[in-house]
Amino acid sequence: MLEGKVALVTGGSSGIGRATALVMASYGAKVIVAARRENESQSTVETIRSAGGTASFIKTDVTDEEQIRAMVDFTLSEYGRLDCAFNNAGIVGGPPDQWHESEVESLMSSFDVNVTGMWLCIKHELRAMKDSGGGSIVNNSSIAGNRVGGHHNYTTSKYAVNGLTAHAAVAYAADGIRVNAVAPGIILTDVWTDRFEKDPALREKWEASIPMGRLASPAEVGEVVAMLCSDGASYVTGAVVPVDGGLAMTIAHP
């Protein structure tokens, strides 16, 4: 599905990013893993290579524009082009709190990574894709981007991600660049696994609230990202695709 394509994955050291990198490589993409954590990222790269795929790592902090520029330039120097990008790097924020008791620094920390960092990634990815005649960008949003719940800073940042996605999709459609987003629900990443181990009843509540009756693996998000990056999605742009087992269509919330 992605044979011969060059794919960049930010936050590829763990969770949804790592799983997506592995999925994209399994479909034939040459994958660049960009993240701050070197050991975990190299593990992703080695897993891809041991399966016969092609992958490279570049250490990247998405809050630093020069590192993002270097990330894209590294991709171009190593593989000659950039066809696909999954902007996955992000932070969840803290537990739900009272807005009137919050400090502005907590808002800015969420926006520095989830919004400004993504804006910078999109900027430099667009630059590379315009030069090579097109491509596909997928941003990692969240179910929190179309409903209210959890930490207000995180929710606000994911609404902003959907706005970035829509604007870029319209502005660069004529350049052959498609821009979409995925909106994961409750995915069994380390963050959620740790919470469920401490509170098994919370898992039961979430499973009961999801129409499909189960939680998802990170790879299930990766499969949707790979589809959106493929030629099979050639007429899809500006979409925010839920990967949530139907949760966003309900009003239930544990």
Indicate which CATH number applies to the domain containing 27.
3.40.50.720
Q: Per-residue pLDDT tens, the chain, 254 aa: give them.
A: 999 999 999 999 999 999 999 999 999 999 999 999 999 999 999 999 999 999 999 999 999 999 999 999 999 999 999 999 999 999 886 655 677 877 888 888 889 999 999 999 999 999 999 998 999 999 999 998 877 766 788 889 999 999 999 999 999 999 999 999 999 999 999 888 898 999 999 999 999 999 999 999 999 999 999 999 999 999 999 999 999 999 988 865 55
The answer to whether position 194 is within a domain reads no
The strand pairing partners of 182, in sequence order, are 140, 241
The answer to whether position 131 is within a domain reads yes
Residue range(s) defining the domain that contains residue 40: 6-189+220-242
- How many of the other CB atoms lie within 10 Å of CB of 149? 12
The answer to whether position 113 is within a domain reads yes
What pLDDT does 118 receive?
97
The answer to whether position 213 is within a domain reads no
The answer to whether position 250 is within a domain reads no
The answer to whether position 150 is within a domain reads yes
Distance of alpha carbon 180 from the chain centroid: 11
What pLDDT does 16 receive?
96
The answer to whether position 167 is within a domain reads yes
Total domains present in the chain: 1
Paired tokens of 68: 């993002």
What pLDDT does 105 receive?
84
Active-site annotation, residues: 154
Residue 227 to residue 235: CA distance in whole angstroms = 12
Element (H, E) at 76: helix 65-79
The answer to whether position 119 is within a domain reads yes
What is the value of pTM for the model shown? 0.94
